[in-house]
Amino acid sequence: MKDTISEETIRELLSLVNKPARYCGGELNSAVMKGAPVRYLMAFPDVYEVGMSHLGMKILYSLLNSLDDVDCERTFAPMDDMADLMRERDIPLFSLETFSPASSFDFIGFSLQYEMCMTTVLYMLDLAGIPLRSAERSEKDPIIMAGGSVTLNPEPFCDFFDIMIFGEAEEVLPDLMELYRESDGREEFLTAACKVDGVYVPKYYEVTYDGDHIIRKSLNGAPETIKRLLIKDMDSSFYPESFIVPFMEIVHDRAAVEVMRGCPRGCRFCQAGMIYRPVRQKKLETLKKQADDLLSSTGYEQIALSSLSSTDYRHCRELIGCIYADHADEKVTVSLPSLRIDHFSLELARGMQSTRTIPLTFAPEAGSQRMRDIINKNITEEDIFETLKSAFLSGYHKIKLYFMIGLPHETDDDIRAIGEMVTRIDEMYTSLDLTPKHAVLSASVSCFVPKPHTPFEFVAQDSREEFRRKQTEVLKPSFGRHVKLSYHEADLSVLEGAFARGDRRLNDVILSAYRKGCIFDSWADHYRPWLWEEAFSENGLSMEQFSMRSFGYDDDLPWDFIDLGVDRSFLVREAKKAEEALTTPNCYEKCSNCGIAARYGRCDFEI
């Protein structure tokens, strides 16, 4: 393995691969390295244009580079053409800022945003020449770190990481960098780090299984329960004054301000809505400054208001108005990633100075009122039709609608109601006699995956056969001919379900699948289900053993050692209310006693 990679060598590679801008670095606002004593490589286990769209990575990259003692660089998963050339020429995975080998860094930190990225993590470690399992690494190897929402059930992939962060990493990364500088080597650092709130060092926990009973033993002074990290004051928390501006188009090619964290809605299927509690809003003045800084430093002409539920931000209308007023000469537009189905959201959409050809996106999630009550969506059919009618009359004719099948307590009639609803929306548009004569209605139907730390963490997922039956026999025939239907592959959703609620036995499955050639598993053209089947079988396991298992309300769960501040008793109450199709008001209307207020003294830190 080469110790250094010359710029000439990289240039030579770029002339031979598709989309060379993925690998060239040197973008506007990328950090200039200081020669700091601690070197951190931020790694995203997907291609450049996906990773560079992730807001959390932008925040942490700028945060680490603001520290005097840390230099932070970036790397992404190279596509097949680039990886083949790198192997052929013995070029290891490298950073974009200085073209340094990944193995030369003190830390490599992976951002894990979806379950199906794990084989890509191994692919990147392999390209870097770093042992795949933590137990096989030595003092000369980087410390492999992970953060992101997927780590809130870390057990299926914990063998591959030396250290993980639970919760909002801005709270602890600077302290960990200082702790590393003060430590004498890898082992001393990990021993000290495991006692820090929000930090998990998997090797300091022994886990055995007695049937469905999990026996956990902490070692080396590691705590039995780990509390997730939480930023209480979003106004004083770090936020970049500039974003890197790529040379190529990325998935979300715009500036973004994070208006708040958390969501007050309480949808029972939504993991993000539970793990990011409580709602914490930024002040209007804070956001105006952040928007001004980003627009002036990047040259972007579009800025997104980012959060789980941006229209719930109390100053949403005022913020949009301020951005338009302050940046009128630059013709800046404001976007909202997704809209609630209500009058206020539509009023915001009408006021935004963007072309009406941009689709409006709504997520009814279910076609029947019964199912919407089960999942606690808290919208009615009248809300949906009134909002969409107003959208059509306002000039919008491209609408994206998101639904799910396989939800708990679902019947075939509930599924048919999805197609019936979308067909009626199409008919409503036609009856309005607008131009064009038919709306472009896109209906995306995903397969439900039960996620940890939600009221539905206890339920079994549908089998692949049942998902396919619902897609072909129940769902598809009920759609109108003007509707564009897309749905997720059942195989991939069930595999995701296995890893979402799996345990340490799945580490060997991931390693086997990678060695068979699995990478980029979330990409339809790369996903090879038969290889995953072989990987499970070789390890004496099956996918359904994990995806289709249900838990009792008092059972041991693989992720029980993580304390989010949301009480398990609340999740059980919500699960029981779902059985009876009873709803819970949102956090702004009435406190549901989820446990957050008791932990932090109050819920919403800026309402």
For the stretch 449-460, pLDDT in tens is: 999 999 999 999
d(CA 249, CA 302): 14
3-state SS class at 365: strand
Q: Tell whether 11 is covered by a domain.
A: yes
Judge contact between 123 and 514, C-beta under 8 A: yes
Q: How much of the chain exceeds pLDDT 90, in percent?
A: 82
Asked, for residue 302, whether it belongs to a domain, the answer is: no
Least confident interval from 3-12, 261-270, 579-588: 3-12
CB atoms within 10 A of CB 303: 22
Structural contact between residues 495 and 543, judged by C-beta atoms closer than 8 angstroms: yes
| Residue 389 burial (C-beta neighbours within 10 Å; 0-12, 13-18, 19+) | middle
pLDDT number for residue 476: 85
Average pLDDT over residues 428-439: 88
* Confidence check: pLDDT of 364 > 70: yes
Of the listed ranges 125-139, 220-234, 593-607, the least confidently predicted one is: 593-607
* pLDDT computed for residue 607 by the predictor: 44
> Total structural domains in the chain?
1
The mean pLDDT of 457-468, rounded to a whole number, is: 97
CATH number at residue 200: 3.40.50.2300
Q: Residue 2: pLDDT band by 50, 70, 90 thresholds?
A: very low
- Whether 40 is covered by a domain: the verdict is yes
Please check the confidence at residue 339 and state whether its pLDDT lies above 80. no
pLDDT band at residue 201 using 50, 70 and 90 as cut-offs: very high
Band (pLDDT 50/70/90 cuts) for residue 359 is confident
Mean pLDDT of the chain: 93
Model confidence pLDDT, tens digit, residues 206-238: 999 887 789 999 999 999 999 999 999 999 999
Give the Cβ contact number of residue 328 at 10 Å: 10
Host H or E run for residue 384:
helix 381-393
Res 1 pLDDT > 50: no
248 within a domain of the structure (yes/no): no
Query: Which candidate, 353, 348, 435, 453, places its Cα nearest to that of 397?
Result: 435
Task: Give the number of residues written for the chain.
Answer: 607
Among candidates 44, 48, 104, which has minimal Cα distance to 71? 104
**Position 604 pLDDT exceeds 70:** no
For 55-104, the pLDDT digits (tens) are 999 999 999 999 999 999 999 999 999 999 999 999 999 999 999 999 99
pLDDT of amino acid 3:
63
**Residue appearing with tokens 């089960």:** 374
Three-state SS at 296: helix
Judge whether 1 lies within some domain. no
pLDDT confidence of residue 343: 64
Cis peptide before 436, with omega less than 30 degrees from 0?
yes
Tell me which residue of 391, 375, 279 sits closest to 341, measured CA to CA.
Answer: 391
Whether residue 221 is contained in a domain is answered as yes
Q: Which residue has the higher pLDDT, 478 or 101?
A: 101
| Residue pLDDT, tens place only, 498-546 | 999 999 999 999 999 999 999 999 888 899 999 999 999 999 999 999 9
Say if residue 529 is preceded by a cis peptide, omega within 30 of 0: no
Does pTM surpass 0.85?
A: yes
Q: What percent of the chain has pLDDT over 70?
A: 97
CA neighbor of 279 nearest in space, from 599, 596, 598: 596
Q: Give the lowest-confidence range in 23-27, 163-167, 342-346, 557-561.
A: 342-346
**pLDDT-derived band of residue 357, with 50, 70 and 90 as boundaries?**
low
HEC-encoded secondary structure of 7-70 = HHHHHHHHCCCCCHHHCCCCCECCCCCCCCCEEEEEEECCCHHHHCCCHHHHHHHHHHHCCCCE
In a domain, 76, yes or no: yes
d(CA 343, CA 386): 8
Rounded Cα gap, residues 105 and 131, in angstroms = 14
d(CA 208, CA 217): 9
Range of the domain at 40: 7-227
Picking from 104, 103, 110, the residue whose alpha carbon sits closest to that of residue 77 is 110
Residue 356 pLDDT class (50, 70, 90 cuts): low
- Residue 432 within a domain: no
pLDDT of residue 328: 86
Q: Per 3-state DSSP, what percentage of the chain is helix, strand, and coil (rounded to 5)? A: 40, 15, 45
Yes or no: say if 117 and 148 are a contact pair by the CB < 8 Å rule: no
Sign of CA dihedral 304, 146, 185, 35: negative
Which element (helix H / strand E) includes 258? strand 255-258
The sheet with strand 199-200 has its strands ordered as: 70-76, 38-44, 107-111, 143-147, 163-165, 199-200
Asked if residue 437 has pLDDT above 80, the reply is: yes
Q: What is the mean pLDDT of residues 368-373?
A: 98
Q: What is the mean pLDDT of residues 107-126?
A: 96
Amino acid at 408: P
Range scoring the smallest mean pLDDT among 137-141, 177-181, 240-244, 309-313: 309-313
Written as one letter, the residue type at 442 is S
- At 397 the pLDDT is 87
Q: State the sign of the Cα–Cα–Cα–Cα dihedral 393, 396, 398, 402.
A: negative
Angstrom distance (rounded) from CA 372 to CA 410: 11
User: pLDDT-based confidence at 602, cuts 50/70/90?
Assistant: low
**Per-residue pLDDT for 606 more than 50?**
no
pLDDT of residue 400: 92
